[in-house]
Structure 1
Amino acid sequence: MLGTLLLVILILVLVGAFPAWPYSRSWGYAPSGTIGIVLIIVLVLVLMGTI
């Protein structure tokens, strides 16, 4: 239950960090890339049953 909730929250944060708005275009892909790496780590931990 906790792992699924954490995964959903991370996916929403990843979509929110996507640089599609004018004020965030200068950020590049750093915010979404960092959140993507965290998402992959959490996904692997959920699949392994650690979380």
Structure 2
Amino acid sequence: MSVGTILLIVLVLILVGALPAWPHSRSWGYAPTGVLGTVLVIVLILVLLGRV
């Protein structure tokens, strides 16, 4: 597996983990997921372009 694939898998797992599912994190809204989603899209584009 390449480093880009491993990075992509880790970012997807972090993105799922950032969903506000617990009572203490519901007040955060979707901000953590939005930030991680943006990072995931950027990394995905870089992987597809062959830069990572």
Size of the aligned set, in residue pairs, is 51
Q: Percent identity?
A: 65
Q: Stretches of 4+ moved more than 2 A in 1?
A: none
TM-score by length of 1: 0.98
Unpaired stretches in structure 2, ≥5 consecutive residues: none
Query: TM-score scaled to structure 2, two decimals?
Result: 0.96
Aligned counterpart, 1:44: 45
**Structure 1 alignment gaps of length 5 or more:** none
Shift of 1:24: 0.3
Counterpart CA distance in 1 for 2:21 and 2:37 is 16
Structure 1 residues 1-46: Cα deviation after superposition (integer angstroms, max 9, x where no partner): 0000000000000000000111100000000000000000000000
Give distance in 2, aligned partners of 1:43 and 1:4.
Answer: 9
Q: Given the alignment of the two structures, is residue 24 of structure 1 paired with residue 25 of structure 2, yes or no?
A: yes
Q: Secondary structure at the match of 1:50?
A: coil
